[in-house]
C-alpha cells in the first residue's frame, strides 16, 4: 500500500541553524500538508500546498518557514533559523483528489526535530 | 475558532470494549476522523465518518456520531494489548486542514 515517507526520522540541530525536512507524498496525491506536534500538545496545522503554491497557512508558519516541491516528488519544509521552541515532531500529509476519500489526509511517520 | 476535545486517558483490560469520546465545536465539520499513534510512530488513519452518517462499523471499530451534540465516539471491541496507543479525533470541513484533539492515551492491561 502506498505511503507517505519522511526523512530524516530524527534531526538534531543547533539554535540558529537552518534545517530542511523532507517528505515524499503518495504519488497521485495533489494536496500536501505540514503539521507539528510539540511534546504533550496537540497536533497543529502549519501549511497546505496545492498546485505549487501555499493554499493556507497558520499563525505558526511565519517568515522563518518555507515549503517547496522542488522536483515533483519531494515536498520540503525549511526552517531558516531554528529556535528552541521549534523542537517538535513534524508530520507531512497528502491528500488524493476526488472520490469518497478525496479529503482524507494520509500522514507520514514524522521527523523529530530537536533544537539545542 | 474550531476546537476538538478528548479525555486524556483510558485504561481497560484485555478483552473488554474501549470507548473513546470526542466533542467538537465546528458546525461545518464534514469529515470526522480517528487516527492512531503508536509510541515513536506517525499518525495512522483508523477510520473516518461523514457528517451525514450516524454510525460506521469497520471490523472491531464502531464510530458513532451525534451531530446535534457534536459528539463522536470510537468503540473498540475485544480490546487487545496491541491497541495500546494514543487515539486522536480530528475534524475537517472537507476542503481544508484538520483540527486535532489532544489525543486519548489508551492503556490495555493483560
Choosing among B37, B50, B97, B103, which should be mutated to test the A contact, i.e. which has the most A CBs within 10 A? B97
Instruction: Specify the pLDDT at position B94.
Output: 64
The pLDDT assigned to A96 comes to 80
Residue B88 and residue A33: Cβ atoms within 8 Å?
Answer: no
Residues of A with CB under 8 A from a CB of B: 6, 33, 35, 41-45, 48, 56, 58, 91, 93, 101, 103-110
Q: How far apart are the first and last CA of chain B?
A: 41
Q: Is A63 exposed, middle or buried (0-12, 13-18, 19+ CB in 10 A)?
A: exposed
Whether residue B69 has pLDDT greater than 80: yes
B101-110 pLDDT, tens digit each: 999 999 999 9
Alpha-carbon distance A107 to nearest alpha carbon in chain B (angstroms):
6
Min distance B33 CA to chain A CA atoms (Å): 8
Using CA atoms, how far residue A113 sits from A5, A8, B25, in Å, is: 16, 9, 31
**Residue of B17, B42, B31, B44 whose CA lies nearest to B106:** B17
Which residue reads 515517507 in cell numbers? Answer: A5
Beta partners for residue B10, in sequence order: B106
Which of the pair, B7 or A113, is modelled with greater confidence? A113
Average pLDDT of chain B, as a whole number = 90
User: Helix (H, G, I), strand (E, B), or coil: what is residue A69?
Assistant: coil
Contacts of A82 by beta carbon, 8 Å cutoff, 6+ apart: A13, A14, A15, A16, A17, A18, A19, A113, A115
Within 10 A of A97 (CB to CB), how many other CB atoms are there?
11
User: What residue ranges of chain A have pLDDT lower than 70?
Assistant: 97-103
Among A106, A107, A108, the residue to mutate for chain B (most B Cβ within 10 A): A107
Contacts 24+ apart (CB under 8 A), A61-70: A67/A32, A67/A34, A69/A32
Q: Give residue-wise pLDDT tens across range B18-50.
A: 999 999 987 777 788 999 998 877 788 899 898
Q: Nearest-CA residue of chain A relative to B43? A: A107
Half-sphere exposure of B70 (CA within 13 A, CB side): 15
Nearest residue on chain B to A100, alpha-carbon basis = B50
C-alpha distance across the termini of chain A, in Å = 37
Closest CA to A51 of A64, A32, A65: A32
pLDDT at B26: 79
- Adjacent-strand bridge partners of A6: A23
* Pairwise CB contact (< 8 Å): B103 & A108: no
Amino acid at each position: 500500500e502506498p505511503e507517505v515517507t519522511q526523512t530524516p526520522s530524527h534531526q538534531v540541530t543547533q539554535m540558529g541553524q537552518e534545517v530542511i525536512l523532507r517528505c515524499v507524498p503518495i504519488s497521485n496525491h495533489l494536496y500536501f500538508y505540514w503539521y507539528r506536534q510539540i511534546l504533550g500538545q496537540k497536533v497543529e496545522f502549519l501549511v497546505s500546498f496545492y498546485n505549487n503554491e501555499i493554499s493556507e497557512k497558520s499563525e505558526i508558519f511565519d517568515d522563518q518557514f518555507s515549503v517547496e516541491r522542488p522536483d515533483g516528488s519531494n515536498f520540503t519544509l525549511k526552517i531558516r533559523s531554528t529556535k528552541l521552541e521549534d523542537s517538535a515532531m513534524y508530520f507531512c500529509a497528502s491528500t488524493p483528489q476526488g472520490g469518497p476519500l478525496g479529503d482524507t489526509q494520509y500522514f507520514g511517520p514524522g521527523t523529530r526535530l530537536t533544537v539545542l | 475558532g474550531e476546537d476538538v476535545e478528548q479525555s486524556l486517558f483510558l485504561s481497560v483490560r484485555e478483552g473488554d470494549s474501549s470507548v473513546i469520546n470526542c466533542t467538537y465545536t465546528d458546525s461545518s465539520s464534514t469529515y470526522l476522523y480517528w487516527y492512531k499513534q503508536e509510541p515513536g510512530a506517525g499518525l495512522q488513519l483508523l477510520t473516518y465518518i461523514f457528517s451525514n452518517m450516524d454510525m460506521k462499523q469497520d471490523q472491531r471499530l464502531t464510530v458513532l456520531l451525534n451531530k446535534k451534540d457534536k459528539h463522536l465516539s470510537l468503540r473498540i471491541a475485544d480490546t487487545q494489548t496491541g491497541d495500546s496507543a494514543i487515539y486522536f479525533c480530528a475534524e475537517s470541513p472537507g476542503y481544508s486542514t484538520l483540527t486535532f484533539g489532544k489525543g486519548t492515551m489508551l492503556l490495555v492491561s493483560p
